[in-house]
Chains A and B, each alone.
Chain A
Amino acid sequence: MAQVSLNNLKKTYDGKQDVLAGINLEITDGEFVVLVGPSGCGKSTLLRMLSGLEEISGGDLVIDGVRCNDLPPAKRGIAMVFQSYALYPHMNVYKNMAFGLKIHGAKKDEIDRRIKHAAAILKIDHLLHRLPRELSGGQRQRVAIGRAIVREPKLFLFDEPLSNLDAALRVQTRLEIAKLHRDLQATIVYVTHDQVEAMTLGDKIVVMHDGKIQQAGTPLALYQQPSNLFVATFIGSPKMNLLEGVVAEASATGVSVTLAGGQVLRTEVDGSKLAAGDRVTVGIRSEHLWENNAGSEQFTGTVNLVEHLGEANFLYVTLANGQDVVVRGDGEREVAIGDTISLSAPAASFHVFNHEGQALQRLKPGNMVAAKRTA
């Protein structure tokens, strides 16, 4: 059971460029923390620094009150699950799981007890005497997790553990990892580049970009109040629509933005730090652009392309002022390419970002679907 603090953690290679520039993060006991970001953002490096595989160039890593910067991996009380599973090819499943325990001098019956217990949790009891090459990808994944469980670590580290599985198995394993977290009450740090994985698994999501934490928070907080343009476009699929504009009027209760083409848009964000004439970017998620007149702000546009998903469809629309947006529409409504449609959105659904890309506080970041129903 672990309380982990990262204080101004830094990574530089050869004293040159910062790969990680001062990471601050608190991980509470039993928390499932997901590090997410595009490739090269430093998330894997950060994980490897937690594990001890990568040296820490600066700052402090504290696990349960002990500074761990210079401790070897085995003394940190961690266990790691690798992307390629990294099972020892010449050892059967049982020996794979026993290897680490033997090193630490555990007794035979204790090793046996722990392995049986982990195997039962993961439903791999019948595989204990197989070699890794005789297992399917999903089974190997379980063994890799099992090898971590038997060590009874304070902290589990997962390095993109699902990326080698096919799509169906990935969804299934994702659910199992979530269940495992609940059952074991384990503290987990999990790295992925897949935002869906991050949203579904994490208690806390840490979005990283360019070696910095962009935002850390609950999935819903990140979705409803992304703190900057990067997080806004990284979280959510399809990407948040962005419209460029200039502030017409700003106050603590709302901001009016003049879009290209002259339309003035009312948004319910805290504009106390903006002045008329500032350049801003307005963001709106595809599901908040409605194909009826329920919202207060109105647009018209032409449909360029329709993607049918069944329960919904994505309409690729060019607005009257020439800007492209994606609209999540009713899946069973038939729309043809070239149709002109009218769209609306409630003023509370807009995100506004200042010229530095930082988000302004939304005043009512709540449930827009409820808003739609009442409208």
Chain B
Amino acid sequence: MNTKIGKLSSTAFTHLVLAGYTLLAMFPIVLIMINSVKSRDGIFDNPLAFPTSETFSLVGFHKVLAKSPFLHFFQNSLTVTIVSLVLILLFAAMAAWALSEYKFRGNRWLAVYLAFGIMVPIRLGTVSILKLAVALEPFHMGVNTLAILILVYVAQGLPLAVMILSEFMQQIPKELKEAARCDGVGEFKIFFQIILPLIRPAVATVAVFTMVPIWNDLWFPLILAPGEETQTVTLGVQQFIGQYVTDWNAVLASLSLAVLPVLIMYVFASRQLIRGITAGAVK
């Protein structure tokens, strides 16, 4: 009997801690969301209440969308993130394939060279990256272009992606490639038609580790592309809030707008995302 009571109380403790922390994790985000759809009075009179018919108001969103090209910022962020991700995946997969499949002189050194970038933050090279961006201006890849952001993010994301994909490729059975070679299939065809489709499960893992930091980055947009035309959401929100810091409706609405797309993506992809992290982390 005693063991049963003990079990029950330990289960209760477990859920108390987990639920408590879950609440703590959720509270700030929920608080911002519910207050973003309230009138100014509603926000200040009772911040913890859900909007009622009296306090409900979308004025914040109207202001944000009127005063700043929010949708344009989204478009920029989306372009930068997706193009970077595609390039990272493609180039990293190609490099990972060469490094794990072909034994050539300098193979190890090249792998170490690429792996170096996993631990050393690319930010430390900012002084020279800015110099480089200025030099690339004539090629439309200079300061205040999305192209320079993409190039920097690809360089930032490649090392980890190469490592994850290499490990994944080493698990692809040898027989598969050898069967293809026996049939006389060329190396490029093997890569694009056999290997690429096979590494799809690793894409989730790579995507988490590369996409999130790109979408959320403030540093490089601030330094390389601060112009209105090329601002990403993160930078745009930062600038907007700096400007309208006293307009609580607008601030709350802009924060909600910035959180919403990530939230929506998470609702659909969280399962796969978490599985990807757990699987990738065991290595």
A touching B, CB within 8 angstroms:
yes
Chain A residues with CB under 8 Å of chain B are 70, 72
Is B11 in the interface zone, CB < 8 Å from A?
no
Is residue B22 contacting chain A, with contact meaning CB distance below 8 A? Answer: no
Q: Is B243 an interface residue (CB 8 A)?
A: no
A297–B15 Cα gap in the complex (Å)?
73
A72 to B2 CA separation, bound complex (whole angstroms) = 11
- Interface flags for B1-34 (1: CB within 8 Å of A; 0: not) read 1010000000000000000000000000000000
A305 to B1, CA, bound (A): 63
Specify the chain A residue showing the minimal Cβ separation from B1: A70
> B residues within 8 A CB of A70?
1, 3
- Give A72 to B1 CA distance when docked, in angstroms: 12
Alpha-carbon distance A316/B45, docked complex (angstroms): 91
A370–B3 Cα gap in the complex (Å)? 60
**Cα–Cα, bound, A70→B1 (Å):** 8
Find chain A residues with CB under 8 A from B3 CB.
70, 72
Residues on the A chain within 8 Å of B1, using CB: 70
Distance in angstroms between the alpha carbons of A72 and B6 in the assembled complex: 13
Nearest residue in A to B4 (C-beta to C-beta)? A70
Question: Closest residue of chain B to A70, judged by CB?
Answer: B3
Residue of B whose beta carbon sits closest to that of A72? B3
| Chain B residue total in the interface (Cβ 8 A) | 2
CA distance A359 to B188 in the complex (A): 66
Q: How far, in whole Å, are A296 and B264 apart by their CA atoms in the complex?
A: 82
Point out the residues of chain B lying under 8 angstroms from A72, CB to CB.
3
Min C-beta distance of A106 to chain B, whole Å: 24
Report the separation of the CA atoms of residues A70 and B3 in the bound assembly, to the nearest whole angstrom: 9
A363 to chain B, nearest CB (A): 54
Q: List 3 A-B contacts (CB under 8 A).
A: A70-B1, A70-B3, A72-B3
Complex Cα–Cα for A72 and B4 (A): 12
B149 CB → nearest A CB, Å = 46
Q: Quick one: which of B36-67 are within 8 Å of A by CB?
A: none
| 3 smallest beta-carbon distances between A and B, as pairs | A70-B3, A72-B3, A70-B1
Distance to closest chain A CB from B3 (angstroms): 7
* Chain A residue at minimum C-beta to C-beta distance from B2: A70
Closest Cβ neighbor of A71 among chain B residues: B3
Q: How far apart sit A35 and B234, CA to CA, in the bound complex (Å)?
A: 65
Measured in the bound complex, the distance between the Cα atoms of B218 and A195 in whole Å is 67
A238 to B102, CA, bound (A): 49
Closest-CB distance, B282 to chain A (whole angstroms): 15
Q: Please measure, in the bound complex, the distance between the C-alpha atom of A70 and the C-alpha atom of B6, giving whole angstroms.
A: 13
C-alpha gap A21/B3 in the complex (Å): 25
A81 to chain B, nearest CB (A): 25
In whole angstroms, how far apart are the Cα atoms of A70 and B4 in the complex? 10
A56 smallest CB distance to B (angstroms): 13
Question: What's the nearest-Cβ distance from chain A to residue B244, in Å?
Answer: 56
How far is the CB of A356 from the nearest CB of chain B, in Å? Answer: 42
What string of 1s and 0s marks CB contacts (under 8 Å) between B192-236 and chain A? 000000000000000000000000000000000000000000000
* Min distance, Cβ B261 to any Cβ of chain A, angstroms: 41
CA distance A157 to B1 in the complex (A): 26
Q: How far is the CA of A220 from the CA of B1 in the complex (A)?
A: 44
Bound complex: CA A70 to CA B5 (Å): 13
CA distance A54 to B1 in the complex (A): 16
Looking at the assembled complex, report how far the CB atom of B2 sits from the nearest CB atom of chain A, in whole angstroms: 9
Chain B proximity of A248: nearest CB distance (Å): 58
Shortest beta-carbon distance, B4 to chain A, in Å? 9
Q: How far is the CB of A192 from chain B (nearest CB, A)?
A: 31
A72 to B7, CA, bound (A): 13
Q: Nearest Cβ distance between residue A9 and chain B, in whole angstroms?
A: 19
| Min C-beta distance of A57 to chain B, whole Å | 14
The distance in angstroms between the C-alpha atoms of A72 and B3, with both chains bound, is: 9
Rounded to whole Å, the gap between the CB of A339 and the closest CB of chain B is 41
Type the 1/0 row for B107-126, where 1 means its CB is closer than 8 Å to any CB of A: 00000000000000000000
Q: How far is the CA of A44 from the CA of B44 in the complex (A)?
A: 63
CB distance from B10 to the nearest CB of A (A): 14
Question: Shortest distance in angstroms between B170's beta carbon and chain A's nearest beta carbon?
Answer: 21
A-contacting residues, B141-197, CB 8 Å: none
A303 to B264, CA, bound (A): 70
